[in-house]
């Protein structure tokens, strides 16, 4: 079997946007290196959201699957990349890609973070994307989710379909300077020199401050219109913005709760789990905690008006 399909399934907030934008920007050049990043629905120019939507909504046959299968079968490239972070949470996603096994080797790639950092970033992302999370404060969301973020459970269906030898798990820690694009290039076995071309920097989806997220939650709940392109401008107006919800004690507790599971994950998929089980009290204690009791909604609205976020 001369073809390999790499299915990148996230997780959320692990440099996925940087990966997707890089390989979409340079898709033409990567074809000369033997890699195709097919996005067959032009309405999704960066990621394969059409596949994720199809899997989520389908109750029977997948509508996009024949088109992608035909593309891989007929194309001459040895390497293919499919990327959508939503794939990790869709129970039928492994079933969708199982059909490709007759044409090529399927390798599943997943980047994972330490659970405390992941749940904070995921909450901000969910509120930003207008999901059900915005109805909850972080504390309520955390109580509901904190026992449901074991990576081993999320990977079980993929392993059952493709074998653990075809699962690549990357422990991701953005605070250590990890570069998701370089890591992905290494996994694909291709050069990362295109990253050095002028005009490109793969940091495209920074997390918003907790204050901006809390305002955004309020605006969405009250159905107040806003210009999402001005969110970053609002963030810049906040002095000493909070970037964390969990204090050091909660971080230590959550890391301890998942330590055994993460160690087992490292053994199972052959990687060093240190980034997932190691806490740096000095660094983590320097995170600026969000205090909802001190949140001033009126002051935030005034800042939002001054930068054009709301009228």
pLDDT tens digits along 89-139: 999 999 999 999 999 999 999 999 999 999 998 898 888 877 665 678 999
Question: Residue 200: is its pLDDT beyond 60?
Answer: no
Give the position of tokens 């009791």.
293
Hey, what are 160's tokens? 């059952």
> CA neighbours within 13 Å on the CB side: how many for 229?
0
Quote the pLDDT of residue 251.
Answer: 93
Cβ pair 7, 82 in contact under 8 A = yes
Of 86-95, 124-133, 139-148, 172-181, the range with the lowest mean pLDDT is 124-133
Across the range 245-273, mean pLDDT stands at 95
Give the position of tokens 């008006």.
305
Quote the pLDDT of residue 142.
Answer: 92
Please give the Cα distance from 172 to 13 (Å, whole number).
Answer: 10
Quote the pLDDT of residue 126.
Answer: 84
> Where exactly are the structural domains of the chain?
4-115+150-196
Distances (CA, A) of 16 to 19, 128, 204: 5, 16, 10
Question: CA geometry: angle at 266 spanning 120 and 115, to 5°?
Answer: 10
Mean pLDDT score of the chain: 90
Question: Residue 199: is its pLDDT beyond 60?
Answer: no
- Pick one of 3.40.50.620, 3.90.180.10, 3.40.50.300, 1.10.3720.10 as the CATH number of 4-115+150-196: 3.40.50.300
Across the range 240-252, mean pLDDT stands at 92
């Amino acid at each position: 079997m001369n073809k390999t399909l790499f299915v990148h399934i996230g997780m959320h907030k692990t440099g996925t946007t940087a990966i997707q934008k890089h390989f979409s920007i340079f898709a033409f050049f990567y074809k000369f290196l033997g890699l195709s990043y097919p996005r067959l629905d032009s309405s999704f120019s960066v990621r394969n959201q059409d596949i994720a939507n199809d899997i989520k909504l389908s109750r029977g046959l997948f509508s996009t699957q024949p088109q992608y299968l035909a593309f891989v079968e007929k194309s001459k490239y040895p390497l293919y990349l499919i990327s959508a972070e939503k794939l990790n949470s869709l129970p039928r996603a492994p079933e969708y890609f199982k059909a490709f096994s007759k044409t090529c080797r399927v390798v599943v790639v997943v980047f994972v973070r330490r659970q405390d950092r992941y749940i904070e970033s995921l909450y901000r992302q969910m509120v930003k994307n207008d999901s059900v999370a915005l109805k909850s404060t972080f504390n309520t969301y955390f109580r509901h989710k904190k026992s449901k973020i074991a990576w081993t459970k999320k990977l079980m269906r993929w392993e059952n379909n493709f074998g653990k030898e075809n699962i690549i798990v990357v422990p991701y820690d953005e605070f250590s300077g990890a570069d998701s694009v370089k890591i992905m290039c290494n996994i694909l076995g291709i050069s990362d020199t295109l990253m050095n071309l002028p005009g490109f920097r793969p940091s495209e989806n920074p997390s918003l401050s907790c204050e901006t997220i809390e305002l955004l939650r309020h605006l969405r709940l009250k159905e107040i219109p806003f210009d999402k392109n001005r969110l970053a401008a609002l963030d810049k107006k906040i002095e000493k913005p909070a970037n964390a919800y969990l204090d050091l004690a909660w971080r230590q507790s959550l890391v301890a709760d998942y330590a055994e599971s993460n160690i087992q994950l490292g053994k199972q998929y052959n990687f060093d789990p240190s980034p997932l089980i190691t806490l740096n009290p000095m660094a983590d204690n320097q995170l600026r905690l969000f205090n909802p009791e001190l949140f001033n909604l009126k002051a935030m609205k005034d800042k939002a008006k001054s930068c054009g976020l709301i009228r």
